[in-house]
């Protein structure tokens, strides 16, 4: 009985510590930056490194398809402020099922960033707006889109802290669930006065 209880506790710790990934697509949407939002509200007060980490993930109504890849890691259960986030937001202007689209083509606009959740206001993280590889829409169903990704990028540090750039690679067959623009959250793509809300699910 004691062994079973110990196993249950270990399993619980493993579940708490594991990262969480969310995959959504938004129809009739487009990406906007903080420059397209009313800066007088709160963006003017944000440090430039924070803007670099967050400003490319905002989604609003439009004519395109937007893919949202979000990953949140709670970090170590016994460590404070080691939570991390990763965001890749992809806007696709035109696509045909089973036809590859290059990431450096005019049909795709994307933004990548990752870093420390607790220190995003200090610009602790990396970002990228350029990359290579292909994206293929494999299947389109009523509320599900299957996408084959082969994406590589080099992400640069957003702020002046002892971080180096890093290579980003996303590969695989991913299934995205539909999300309406009206149901997006700061974590998924809505600007918020609190930068912290944009990096926590």
35 is a domain residue = yes
Instruction: For residue range 177-198, list pLDDT tens digits in order.
Output: 999 999 999 999 998 989 999 9
| Each residue's pLDDT tens digit, 57-104 | 999 999 999 999 999 998 776 666 689 999 999 999 999 999 999 999
Which are the contacts of 46, defined by CB distance < 8 A and separation ≥ 6? 34, 121, 195
Give pTM, 2 decimals: 0.87
Q: Are 145 and 25 in contact (CB under 8 A)?
A: yes
Q: Average per-residue pLDDT in the chain?
A: 87
Strand 166-178 relative to strand 19-32, pairing = parallel
Number of domains in the chain: 1
In a domain, 3, yes or no: no
Backbone angles phi, psi at 181, to 5 degrees: -55, -40
pLDDT at 17: 43
Do residues 166 and 131 lie in contact, with contact meaning Cβ atoms separated by under 8 Å?
no
Domain around 42: 20-198
In a domain, 144, yes or no: yes
- Establish if 13 belongs to a structural domain: no
Q: Which of 27, 35, 17, 37 is nearest to 68 (CA)?
A: 27
Distance of CA 1 to the CA centre of its chain: 43
Rg (CA), the chain: 18
Name the one residue in this structure whose structure tokens are 């708490």: 16
In a domain, 8, yes or no: no
């Amino acid at each position: 009985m004691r062994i079973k209880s110990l196993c249950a506790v270990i399993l619980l710790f493993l579940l708490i510590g594991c990262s969480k990934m969310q995959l959504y697509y938004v129809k009739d949407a487009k990406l906007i930056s903080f420059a397209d939002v009313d800066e007088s509200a709160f963006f003017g007060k944000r440090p430039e490194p924070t803007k670099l980490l967050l400003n490319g993930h905002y989604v609003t109504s439009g004519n395109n398809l937007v893919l949202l890849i979000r990953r949140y890691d709670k970090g170590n259960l016994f460590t404070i402020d080691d939570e991390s986030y990763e965001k890749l937001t992809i806007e696709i202007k035109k696509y045909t099922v089973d036809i590859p689209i290059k990431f450096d083509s005019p049909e795709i606009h994307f933004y990548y960033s990752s870093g420390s959740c607790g220190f995003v206001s200090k610009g602790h993280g990396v970002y990228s707006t350029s990359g290579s590889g292909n994206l293929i829409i494999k299947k389109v169903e009523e509320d599900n889109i299957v996408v084959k990704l082969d994406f590589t990028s080099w992400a640069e540090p957003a702020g002046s802290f002892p971080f180096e750039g890093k290579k980003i690679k996303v590969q695989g067959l991913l299934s995205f669930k539909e999300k309406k623009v009206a149901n997006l959250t700061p974590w998924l793509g809505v600007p918020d006065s609190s930068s912290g809300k944009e990096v926590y699910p």
